[in-house]
Structure 1
Amino acid sequence: MRRARTLVATLVAIVTAALAGAAPAAADIWWGSLGTQSIGYASADGSTVDRGVIDSAFNPNGVATDGRHVYWTEIGLNTISRMDADGGGMRRYHVRATAPSGIAVAGEHLYWTQASDGAIGRARLDGSEIDPGFIAGAAATRGIAVTRDHIYWGRSGGGVARATINGVGTDASFLPGIANPQALATDGQHLYVSDVGNARIGRAALDGSGYVPAFVNTSAHSLAVDDGHLYWTDQGAAAIGRVRLDGTGVEPLFINGVQSPAGIAAAAARVRTLSLSASGLAFPAPQGLQTFSAPAQVTVTATGNGDVTLGAAHISGTGSADFLLTGDDCSRRVLRSGEACTLSVRFAPVMLGAHSAELSLGSDTGGGTLRIGLAGTAIVPATGAAAGGGSSGGSGGPGASGAGGSGDQTGRQVTRTRCVTNTLTSTPAKKRKRTSGRRKTAAAKRPASATTSAAQRAAAKTKPAQRKKAARRKTVERKRCATVVEPRTH
């Protein structure tokens, strides 16, 4: 019990898992203008406005962003185009689709509605794996919104439909009673619907409950959400409006002077955060000296909406020689939101007693370096059985650690092999030899010279026996090895 309490106290003292993300950065807004055939941009506070970042967009009816790129539909060209978020790297015909209209981004995919047949298409963000009939027969209007679990879209006959993120289980009457649902958006907790016929924006929970038909009274051609506001394009007012997500602070002319604004997208602030599957790794079972424990693992997951760049993982502290980093697919890696990596550690004590160390992993989050406590206790290993015939003999002491062999070198780490050798010696049991009293008496009566000669003769007979006995003694070396992963030093 004392040992267990010591391990827990050690971990509590060591573990400092800094998981806080960086302070949110300002979001960005993009929109398509049918009047100027362009893509415009504004900062979240409206202080910076560029109405023509791209001045060659052909009827950009739908606009979406993943924070790294901006995508827009060009219905007359049967394409979805893309540019970098800084305005460069434009790529027309990024995805070829038939009459794409509304568009949304979720995870690693683009989703769009097709005015030609009312289907919903899907492709990967890089433009591959295009599936124009991902949800066939959807009767979709322009409005579409996607969460991690579901796809929502407005139906041409009225109401909002929903399907799972895999495109199955369509519920055509998910949110009925909305005559003309032309635009949809979601903040991850609510679904916002533009009811164009009634010039209002409604809001409901993601399960369809608690629908408020007039969350904002305004006419909205398209909708977008960031982490603080709901935005809309108003073609009648030639403006972009916004309201706080709690329904207060309505600004119908947040950005004005926009000719026929159509699609709109808002990038939520990029928040970089990490989570750990375990705050520390304790090896509860006492480990034999110079033996290897089973590997213990900790999983690191990017939980924010921004990419996280990781540094090199390494073990440090007073007991660093007693713990081995045997698996690492985290070092110098970039984790996107939702991605994870794993670190594996084995306890291989080289000295008796309680040991502690720290597994560190750098990151560019606001919390900086992750620190994971390591703790274990080493004991004298159990005596090994003798090898070979005869009765059991004592085991030899543990051998020295074998030299680390050079292993594969990758861009992030070096793989080495660490070995421990134990020597076991087997000695046959001794047989007691009875000597008759008659022989002892005879030997005692012999003269000294005769006795010496007899001793010499006995010694001569004994030497071959000793050599034969030594030959029966066996020495067995047992070698245990483990692969160790270390960060590259250059």
Structure 2
Amino acid sequence: MKSFKCGLAAIVIIATLPRVATAEIIFWTDPAERSGSHFVRRAGPGPGLQTIIGNLRDPRGMAVDSLNDKIYWTEPGLGSISRANFDGSGIEQIVATSSAGGGVALDVSAGKLYWTDGVPGSGLIKRANLDGSVVETIVPSGPFHPAGIALDAVNQKVYWTDLEGHLDGAGRIQRANFDGSNIQTILSGIDEANGLALDPSAGKIYWPDLTTNRIQRANLDGTNVEDIVTGVDDPTTVALDLTAGKIYWTDSQPTPAVSNRIQRANLDGSGIQVIVSGVGVPWGVAVDPTPVPEPIAGIMALIVWGTAVAIVRRTN
């Protein structure tokens, strides 16, 4: 009986070892105008940087469905939204859009896909089921040229950036209820914010400003605007990995290609790192946070198990 208790204790210790590290998979669209070749790429655990989908026509917005291992992207050059598996297989064209389809966001728990249709002067916010069925226009008027889009599923709000178009500080960020009602302008006086990301639990919204070369954030109601990263060459879109407490952004200038990289930092802008550089023209970016065991945890598990086995043998 004594040896049985020792073995059981060891098993419990192994089962409760924490998963304390994350290994992100990063996906991005690459409308590499200079070469005429357009792609979806990924980088992360395993084989490193990969081109997983090619022969696209101006892919832009990118979103990740971590629950079903799917990526979604807008493709204005084709007038569509498509999806595929994480490895690039199983490509499906699911929604027809205008040639100004921009950002895309997912509410996976509700089975909904949202996107901006950014025809200047007559922008729309639309949604559909994740398979592209039941298309609805939820905001039929108001936005001039909507681009970035993000969702607050906790408070049932959709946020979008509106590019005024003249780079004179007349751009804005707006929001509405998921059904399109109660449109509010929460922030004005920005220039060209093509991307948008939310941290609802912390009450923060993040965006890049291409014209002023910075990454900014504010409260969800638009108050307390902060510059968290400055001096970015050409920030285009942003994504958050809230598990790791990181913000990612693409830094791209198609012609001539100057920066063309993906960077990340802590959510307050500290600890800037270059993740990918010198590959095409990164535009839309999305992150799938994948938890993995810390190596030390695996080593400790083996040590504990080995000790337990030795105890069992001695007591027998």
Give the TM-score normalised by the residue count of structure 1.
0.47
| In structure 2, C-alpha distance between the alignment counterparts of 1:87 and 1:24, rounded to whole Å | 26
1:238 maps to 2:226: no
| In structure 1, C-alpha distance between the alignment counterparts of 2:159 and 2:53, rounded to whole Å | 29
Aligned to 2:48: 48
2:211 counterpart SS class: helix
Match of 2:175 among 162, 165, 183: 162
1:57 counterpart SS class: coil
Task: Give unpaired runs (5+ residues) of structure 2.
Answer: 1-14, 165-170, 254-258, 293-316
| In structure 2, C-alpha distance between the alignment counterparts of 1:19 and 1:235, rounded to whole Å | 44
Q: How does 1:439-478 map to 2 (within 5 A)?
A: none
Q: Which amino acid aligns with 1:213?
A: D
| In structure 1, C-alpha distance between the alignment counterparts of 2:112 and 2:21, rounded to whole Å | 24
1:246 Cα deviation after fit:
3.0
Q: How does 1:42-441 map to 2 (within 5 A)?
A: 42-43=43-44, 48-50=48-50, 52-67=51-66, 68-91=69-92, 93-99=93-99, 100-107=101-108, 108-116=111-119, 117-131=122-136, 133-137=137-141, 138-148=143-153, 149-157=156-164, 158-171=171-184, 173-188=185-200, 189=202, 190-218=204-232, 219-227=234-242, 228=244, 229-236=246-253, 237-251=259-273, 253-269=274-290
| In structure 2, C-alpha distance between the alignment counterparts of 1:216 and 1:151, rounded to whole Å | 27
1:170 Cα deviation after fit:
0.3
| In structure 2, C-alpha distance between the alignment counterparts of 1:150 and 1:205, rounded to whole Å | 14
1:261 counterpart SS class: coil
Question: Considering only aligned residues, what root-mean-square deviation do their CA atoms show, in Å?
Answer: 2.4
| In structure 2, C-alpha distance between the alignment counterparts of 1:221 and 1:71, rounded to whole Å | 18
Asked if structure 1 preserves the Cα contact closer than 8 Å seen for 2:118 and 2:144, the reply is no
| In structure 1, C-alpha distance between the alignment counterparts of 2:187 and 2:107, rounded to whole Å | 21
Q: Which amino acid aligns with 1:84?
A: N
| In structure 2, C-alpha distance between the alignment counterparts of 1:119 and 1:267, rounded to whole Å | 28
| In structure 2, C-alpha distance between the alignment counterparts of 1:154 and 1:201, rounded to whole Å | 14
2:250 counterpart SS class: strand
| In structure 2, C-alpha distance between the alignment counterparts of 1:82 and 1:118, rounded to whole Å | 23
**Overall identity of the aligned pairs, in %:** 32
1:47 Cα deviation after fit:
7.4
| In structure 1, C-alpha distance between the alignment counterparts of 2:191 and 2:151, rounded to whole Å | 21
Q: Which amino acid aligns with 2:150?
A: A
1:216 Cα deviation after fit:
4.1
1:24 Cα deviation after fit:
6.0
| In structure 2, C-alpha distance between the alignment counterparts of 1:123 and 1:268, rounded to whole Å | 25
1:270 Cα deviation after fit:
6.5
2:283 counterpart SS class: strand
Q: Which amino acid aligns with 1:79?
A: S
| In structure 1, C-alpha distance between the alignment counterparts of 2:47 and 2:240, rounded to whole Å | 19
| In structure 2, C-alpha distance between the alignment counterparts of 1:183 and 1:230, rounded to whole Å | 12
2:235 counterpart SS class: coil
1:205 Cα deviation after fit:
1.8
Q: Which amino acid aligns with 2:235?
A: A
1:75 Cα deviation after fit:
0.5
Change (3 A) 1:97 1:244: same
Give the TM-score normalised by the residue count of structure 2.
0.72
| In structure 2, C-alpha distance between the alignment counterparts of 1:109 and 1:217, rounded to whole Å | 36
1:155 Cα deviation after fit:
1.4
1:182 counterpart SS class: coil
Structure with the bigger percentage of strand: 1
1:37 counterpart SS class: strand
Asked if structure 1 preserves the Cα contact closer than 8 Å seen for 2:193 and 2:236, the reply is no
| In structure 2, C-alpha distance between the alignment counterparts of 1:174 and 1:250, rounded to whole Å | 28
1:129 counterpart SS class: coil
1:213 Cα deviation after fit:
3.4
Asked if structure 1 preserves the Cα contact closer than 8 Å seen for 2:235 and 2:250, the reply is yes
Change (3 A) 1:89 1:159: same
1:119 Cα deviation after fit:
0.4
1:22 Cα deviation after fit:
6.0
Q: Which amino acid aligns with 2:25?
A: D
| In structure 2, C-alpha distance between the alignment counterparts of 1:266 and 1:151, rounded to whole Å | 20
| In structure 2, C-alpha distance between the alignment counterparts of 1:38 and 1:83, rounded to whole Å | 13
Task: Give unpaired runs (5+ residues) of structure 1.
Answer: 1-17, 272-490
1:360-409 per-position Cα deviation (integer Å, ceiling 9, x unaligned) = xxxxxxxxxxxxxxxxxxxxxxxxxxxxxxxxxxxxxxxxxxxxxxxxxx
Aligned to 1:423: none
Change (3 A) 1:124 1:199: same
| In structure 2, C-alpha distance between the alignment counterparts of 1:217 and 1:105, rounded to whole Å | 30
Larger-gyration structure (1/2):
1
Asked if structure 1 preserves the Cα contact closer than 8 Å seen for 2:52 and 2:87, the reply is no
1:98 counterpart SS class: coil
Asked if structure 2 preserves the Cα contact closer than 8 Å seen for 1:120 and 1:140, the reply is no
1:198 counterpart SS class: coil
Asked if structure 2 preserves the Cα contact closer than 8 Å seen for 1:192 and 1:201, the reply is yes
2:190 counterpart SS class: coil
| In structure 2, C-alpha distance between the alignment counterparts of 1:64 and 1:19, rounded to whole Å | 33
Q: Which amino acid aligns with 1:167?
A: G
Change (3 A) 1:85 1:24: farther
| In structure 2, C-alpha distance between the alignment counterparts of 1:174 and 1:267, rounded to whole Å | 28
Asked if structure 1 preserves the Cα contact closer than 8 Å seen for 2:27 and 2:42, the reply is yes
Change (3 A) 1:82 1:159: same
| In structure 2, C-alpha distance between the alignment counterparts of 1:20 and 1:164, rounded to whole Å | 41
1:179 Cα deviation after fit:
2.2
| In structure 1, C-alpha distance between the alignment counterparts of 2:147 and 2:260, rounded to whole Å | 20
